[in-house]
Structure 1
Amino acid sequence: MGKTIIELLEESVSKYGDKPFLHEARYGEDYTSITYLDVQREAIRFAAGLIALGVEAGDRVALISEGKNNWVLGELGILHAGAVCVPLSVKLETEQDITFRINHSDTVMVLASDQQIAKLRPMKDKLPTVKRYILLDKIESVDDGEIFFDAVKELGDALLATDKKRVDDRIAAVKPESLANISYTSGTTANPKGIMLSHNNYVFNAEQAVDHLNGIPSYFRTLLILPWDHSFGHTAGIYAFMKCGASIASVAAGKSAMEILRNVPKSLKAINPHLLMSVPALAANFRKNIESGIEKKGKTAYSMFKQGLKVAYRYNGEGYNRGRGSRALLKPLVKFYDRLFFSKIRESFSSNMEYFIGGGALLDIELQRFFYAIGIPMYQGYGLSEASPIISANSKKEHKLGSSGKTMPRMEIRIGDENMNPLPIGEKGEILIRGGNVMMGYWKNPEATAETIVDGWLRTGDMGYLDADGFLYVLGRTKSLLISNDGEKFSPEGIEESIMAKSEYINQCVLHNNQSPYTTALLTLNAEVLKRRTSNPEEAAAIIAGELAEYLKGGKNDGMFPYRWIPSAFAIIEEPFSEKNGLVNSTMKIVKHKVYEKYAKELEMLHTPEGKKYDSEYNLKVLQNLL
């Protein structure tokens, strides 16, 4: 049957109309809130304004902004107008990154914040389908083709006064299966995929998540620190909280990304959230700040705090067996350390905090144990944008540290072999899911859609297994996506192909990043060509480092790809990847998961101070053999 996001909002307005939904602190101001009823009214005004400006049902409207009230009002307005929202990451920097997504989606209008319109203005001539730019913030200068968000709502008021039926008919025409969103996530900058999510995809997954968590109380508040275009924050934050009548807050506004980041602590104090969504990098930062605060109290306090953590780790076990058996003997000690340290940390961090939900990338079990010990558990989840995105999560009621939790209700899951045949409990294979949260497909890419959705089953490309209790363990990727430590994902093929095509010395290139601070590379070389240049290993290592540096600032290939995905360290592999050694398949494609397995030690070495050097002892030894 299904439901639209418009109907989800209508249900919440009928139940929670006068309750606050959105909290915002504009630049230099304190937090204020607007209610569910306010949100619905403003969204309809904006929708009417878009219709007045000529937006048709099914048109694509892009949205690029930091988190703020107008982000939500903008998206809801787009959806009420029967149009499709194309949310873009504020981390997109290069012209190629931005123009591809806007042009590929045939976007007709763009909603942009003050910081983001500054990026867009120099490239407007490269965006032929865009008719107008809608400014979400008050700024001093307005260029041709730009209009303020409030001015669009005023146009909406005029249309509602003269032809309300036109607006009502457009809203009524939106169906559960209507396309709501095209989300561009992983992919090379030249060819990212646009994930198509329907209204029902979002509502279905939000309702799955709420039921899985056994409800979110309507008095709950969250501070949505994650990027709002990120599918995790989008569904688990905006729409799951909307479903329950709870409220969300944006981080206090700043004039730059760094200033917004610095505003997180004071925003936490002001909002005092009950629940936070986190990615590994954010969790690690929270831990670092907590521990540095304890360290300032002196060596004795810090030593006792560390001892308290050890006791709590032993007492908590894997969460589900907390305090059981002989662990029960540790309860008095745990209470002692809680009074001494942990309760004070909770009070200073956010006295309302009950738990975190971790997503975006797999959270290190040590971080899970740390937050469990201090009394603010971080329940790991798993998902991907193609699944709207939540597939599984630990919860207060049922959790095992180290797992990705139990799967969402009203969704089938299978661990499959290479041919998608089901495997027994405990056996490792590809994670496959089927249900109302599976995407409609990839925008303008039926081939990729057919490869990814087979007989209704979504092939996640991730390896994992289910234990006897139904907990999912995610082991790694069959797909080759790079995943940074903040959960952002990127497909490496474009960079790899470019390096191999542009460098006469590099024959094969495999990039790797599994939630690490930087990307690494495994390289095989054309030794004969390199020999013509030098027979000195140190010089050869410097030449190879120089080839990769061409993709950084000032290099010949500067701007082709985001810097964060260019390898910061590399290991030279002596034996080429081939069919003979099983690292290349019959279609001559490198089988990456096998490369990662075979060279696991080398990949680990690249994250050591010695291994990160281009002229590491390892690389020089391999080059000595090659030259």
Structure 2
Amino acid sequence: MNIALWLDRTAAVMGARPALMHGTRVVADYATFARRAAGLAAALAARGVAPGDRVGVFAKNLPDYLTCLFGIWRAGAAAVPVNAKLHTKEAAWILADAGAVLCFVSAELAPETDLPCVPLASTEFDALCATDPADAVAREAGDLAWLFYTSGTTGKPKGVQITHAMLAATSLCYPVDVDPVTEADAALYAAPMSHGAGLYALIHVRMGAAHLVPASGGFDAEEVLDLSAAQGSASMFMAPTMVRRLTDAARASGGRGEGIRTIVYGGGPMYRADIEEAVGWFGPKFVQIYGQGECPMAITALSRAEVADRTHPRWAERLASVGRAQSLVEVAIGDATGRPLPPGETGEIMVRGAPVMPGYWRNPEATAKTLKDGWLMTGDVGRLDAEGYLSLADRSKDVIISGGTNIYPREVEEVLLTHPAVHEVSVVGRPSPEWGEEVVAFVVAAPGARIDPAALDAHCLAQMARFKRPKDYVPVPDLPRNNYGKVLKTELRDRLRRDTP
């Protein structure tokens, strides 16, 4: 089934409901949204875009981003959303690798490509949307719908093939495992629509919720707080760093997140100290998910009640986890050969089920390494407890092996973040002639604080084994991040190698 039909079905019964909003202004109801997407699909077909073709979207968050996606799908093509923060050369590489035939762009963005580009929010785009609509092109469950390119921190990004069936599976897990959705809700797009926030748009379209795009087109903590208060019942996806910034902004203004119904967080490590502070300030508004592009947003979830609970005997361990398997996947821990391990053992996280990709785009070698015997080998290290709660240790490439013993950086980071002088921290391994590797912590000081290595050392020794503590604490003004907000540990390791005699 073509996933674009969800928009038609909602518009048929909720056509007058607000659909697309820019700031506090309604720019389209569901009838208009559906009509414009159908017109765009017909215009794409008239331009020669055939079923299975790839169409790029290199744009900041805009209301017509969704018009674009649903128009592409309705035409039977596959969308290639590209992060608007990427360099134009990086965007051009992705579009070329995908074999895109056309690209929609924000007015201020122009990939370095010879592809025809159509700016969103323009008279040209409006003219395309005004084309007489035609029926949606039939699609099979396994047909490509979304080509998602990974962040590429260690090389060129790979294209994850996301099918119509995967979009449906991820979407239907949301109201079961993450958060119910009704037509009274509003999805607020603070995070890039080229990623998880855009994926979550589908279930909100199906349920007739409003779609609220900040006027800034990105994440501004004060703007999110103001828009949520004005709209009410707003739900949004945020990376952990965004939650941290939102909490800081709310505390500074004295606001308690009025109008925010749900914040789904994921996409990177959420440290327990940060989520405890966020829940303490905002209340029970948070749900955690764990996923990858290869199984988008749909591996595990930690419910609102579990995130907020402080009465369960094991609430701290649960809060430090990423929850339990979502409804349409199996999760297991494997050894180096992929053999499942019993509860409590640490190994590679493996996933299988309906939301898992069929493979990487035109990359059989990478596909063979990642998909083994029906399991997605995530590259993440973790463990399952007897109740099915999954705790992440680290990416397998980030594990530090010192004196033959594995040290998981996240465990050290969690401890350091409980010290009042530490605002952010990233722990990596440094080559050591004696131990193979030794632990080094890059530390961003809290406002008004200074980094005292002796105090941090004593703090670590009071809470964990001596061999895990950092051998060095490096003060930094901030941590290097990629365009997706993830800390670039590769850059930190490279810095240590350069500085090591």
Q: TM (normalized to structure 1)?
A: 0.62
Q: Match for residue 310 of structure 1?
A: none
Q: 2:208 aligns with which of 219, 240, 245?
A: 245
Distance 1:447 1:572, change over 3 A: closer
Higher share in helix: 1
2:25 pairs with 1:31: yes
Q: In the TM superposition, what are the counterparts of 1:185-264 in structure 2 within 5 Å? A: 185-187=150-152, 191-213=156-178, 215-230=180-195, 232-236=196-200, 238-253=201-216, 263-264=223-224
Kindly indicate whether residue 353 of structure 2 is the aligned counterpart of residue 435 of structure 1. Answer: yes
Q: Report the 3-state secondary structure (helix = DSSP H, G, I; strand = E; otherwise coil) of the residue aligned with 1:70.
A: helix
8 A contact 1:64–1:111 mirrored in 2: yes
AA in 2 matched with 1:288: D
Gaps of 5+ in 1: 139-146, 161-166, 295-344, 482-511, 518-567, 583-596, 613-618
Q: 1:408 to 1:571 in 2, by over 3 A?
A: closer
Mark the CA change 1:42 to 1:182 in structure 2 (over 3 Å): closer, same or farther: same
Tell me the secondary structure at the aligned position of residue 344 of structure 2.
Answer: coil
Q: Which has the larger radius of gyration?
A: 1
Q: In the aligned structure 2, how far is the partner of 1:607 from the partner of 1:513?
A: 17
Q: Does 1:110 align with 2:103?
A: yes
1:20 and 2:18 aligned: yes
Check the 8 A contact 1:353/1:376 in 2, yes or no: no
The residue aligned with 1:484 is none
Structure 1 residues 65 and 604, CA, compared in 2 at 3 Å: closer, same or farther? farther
* 1:80-229 equivalent positions in 2, closer than 5 A: 80-95=74-89, 97-117=90-110, 120=111, 123=112, 127-128=113-114, 130=115, 132-138=116-122, 148-154=124-130, 156-157=131-132, 160=133, 167-168=134-135, 171-187=136-152, 191-213=156-178, 215-229=180-194
Q: Deviation digits for residues 333-381 of structure 1, max 9, x if unmatched? A: xxxxxxxxxxxx43xx32x333321111121111221232231432222
Corresponding residue for residue 285 of structure 2: 377
Pair 1:62-2:47 in alignment: no
**Identity rate of aligned residues, in percent?**
27
Structure 2 residue 367 is matched with structure 1 residue 367: no
- The answer to whether the Cα contact below 8 Å between 1:362 and 1:382 also exists between their aligned partners in 2 is no
- Give yes or no for the alignment of 1:463 onto 2:384: no
Give 2:395's aligned residue.
Answer: 477
Change (3 A) 1:599 1:181: farther
Q: Give the distance between the partners of 1:514 and 1:64, measured in 2 at CA.
A: 33
Structure 1 equivalent of residue 433 of structure 2? 575
Q: What are the superposed Cα offsets for residues 309-333 of structure 1, whole Å, 9 maximum, x if unpaired? A: xxxxxxxxxxxxxxxxxxxxxxxxx
The answer to whether the aligner puts 1:390 opposite 2:298 as a matched pair is yes
Task: Give the Cα–Cα distance (whole angstroms) in 2 for the partners of residues 427 and 571 of structure 1.
Answer: 23
How many residue pairs get aligned? The number is 428
Determine the structure 2 residue equivalent to 1:267. 227
Quote how far apart the aligned CAs of 1:14 are. Answer: 4.1
Match of 2:459 in 1: none
SS in 1 for 2:55: strand
Query: Does structure 2 retain, via aligned residues, the 8 Å contact 1:223–1:276?
Result: yes
Deviations 1:430-487 (A, max 9, x none): 1111111001211110110111111221111111122222222111111459xxxxxx
Partner in structure 1 of residue 490 of structure 2: none
Distance 1:514 1:59 in 2: 41
Per the alignment, do residues 572 and 235 of structure 1 end up closer, same or farther by CA in structure 2, a change over 3 Å counting?
closer
Kindly indicate whether the alpha-carbon contact (under 8 Å) linking 1:223 and 1:271 is maintained by their aligned counterparts in 2. no
Q: How far is the alpha carbon of 1:189 from its aligned partner?
A: 8.2
Corresponding residue number in structure 1 for 2:454: none
| Structure 2 residue aligned with 1:528 | none
CA-to-aligned-CA distance 1:107-134 (integer Å, 9 cap, x gap) = 11110011213xx3xx3xxx34x2x211
- Give the corresponding residue for 1:445: 363
Q: 2:159, 2:412 → 1: CA distance?
A: 25
Q: CA deviation at 1:271?
A: 2.3
Q: For 2:86 and 2:364, how far apart are their aligned partners in 1? A: 26
Task: With the length of structure 2 as denominator, give the TM-score of the two structures.
Answer: 0.76
Task: Report the CA distance between 1:513 and its aligned residue.
Answer: 9.7
1:7 Cα deviation from its structure 2 partner: 3.1
Find the aligned partners of 1:569 and 1:423 in 2 and give their Cα distance. Answer: 27
